[in-house]
Amino acid sequence: MRRALYEETHDDFRRSFRSFVEAEIVPHHEKWEEAGRVDREMFSAAGDAGFLGMAVPEEYGGLGQADFRFNAIIGEELQRVGAIGSGMCITLHNDVVLPYLMHATTEEQRRRWLPRMVTGEIMGAISMTEPDTGSDLGALRTSARRDGDSWVLNGAKTFVTNGLNADLYIVAVRTNPQPRHKGISLVAVEDSTPGFRRGRHLDKIGLRSQDTAELFFDDARVPADNLIGDDGQGFRILMENLAQERLGLCVSAISAARTALGWTVDYCAQRRAFGTRVLDMQNTRFRLAELAARLDATQCFVDHLVELHNRGELTGEDAAKGKLLTTELQQAVVQQGLQLHGGYGFMREYPIARAYLDAPIQTIFGGTNEVMREIIGRTLEGTYGSGGVA
């Protein structure tokens, strides 16, 4: 049954993308999990099929569909088949990277990059985290010094999604010595930049087909006109785009939870113990019933957040609430699912086992859930304090 969030055009898009996933991703997912990265041909095929840059205006080759529901469908369908690792190159490109290049760039930059990002010729990545900073962007040390018509970058980044396969990296750098966030800028670094190199292919416990790498900049010389936005305005631009990034994580987490609950219900309906189906045991039904109730309620909240975002009304606080709720629920569902699978839940041939390994990162990237709690906590007095509740 179609959720109220979606309309007929979204159903058509879902059918089309589902067919793409079944043909281009599912048959290769296990191979890519072993290799630690996807084949670029799949990403190019996504561009050919119209699944990249849907929000990009038509004048730059996109569909001009600035409707996040299309992005949400992509995330839902990838989680439906348990292949988010292989499809994350698409969701990161659409949900996280493209907004920077659409809204914070010059006309010349948009014409230079956007058409090739829509076709899949260019895969994007964003590089914020450093080995010693984690979620604290104000502590970043990668520097960019202006030298004539270039920026010269020095430093290192880590945990870069699409780190191996990307062609264009949006890199957070410090361009002036002002303290904390005031000196941060964004620079677009192309993979052919002298002095730029990719480091280790990081060995993760989950999402193995999603390539993650270190990046190094040793007097890397980047054209001055690759600066995104104004000098020193990088942190402001990052904050403006984080709400959509976290909304994408909400969609992914709630969809993963729904898929894992489905696997668990099916398994418990087939598995027998002590002469009865596991699903007919009261303890099993009660535990799954609680998770189902939480999932449906949280799904309503996520759908509401998507609607708010489409109206331009999604706040950072609400996005943080969504990320906290959905990712914590995802952990609860996969943990309970693994437990109810018994010993088979520990076998990687069962999708619940792989989901158990993929899930923990959801509470970490996009800002850890501890940071989400801090963001929400700062609003408590004004929202729920004396006289704050209607």
Known active-site residue 245: yes
Task: Give the Cβ contact number of residue 140 at 10 Å.
Answer: 24
Instruction: Answer yes or no: are the C-beta atoms of 189 and 224 closer than 8 Å.
Output: no
Q: Is 351 left (phi over 0), alpha (psi -120 to 50) or beta?
A: alpha
**Contacts of residue 73, Cβ cutoff 8 Å, sequence gap at least 6:** 6, 10, 13, 14, 17
Instruction: Answer yes or no: are the C-beta atoms of 53 and 114 closer than 8 Å.
Output: yes
Instruction: Answer yes or no: are the C-beta atoms of 38 and 211 closer than 8 Å.
Output: yes
The β-bridge relationship of strands 168-174 and 124-127 is parallel
Between CA 278 and CA 341 the distance in angstroms is 10
Task: Give the Cβ contact number of residue 84 at 10 Å.
Answer: 27
Catalytic residue among 24, 76, 245, 328: 245
Tokens of 365: 């990237």
The β-bridge relationship of strands 168-174 and 212-223 is unpaired
Q: Give me the count of residues in the chain.
A: 390
Phi/psi at 30 (5° precision): -65, -40
Exposure string of 247-278, with b = 16+ CB inside 10 Å and e = fewer, is: bbbbbbbbbbbbbbbebbbebbeeeeeeeeeb
Instruction: Answer yes or no: are the C-beta atoms of 79 and 259 closer than 8 Å.
Output: yes
Closest by CA to 258, choosing from 297, 201, 316, is 297
DSSP class of residue 233 equals: -
Catalytic residue numbers read: 245
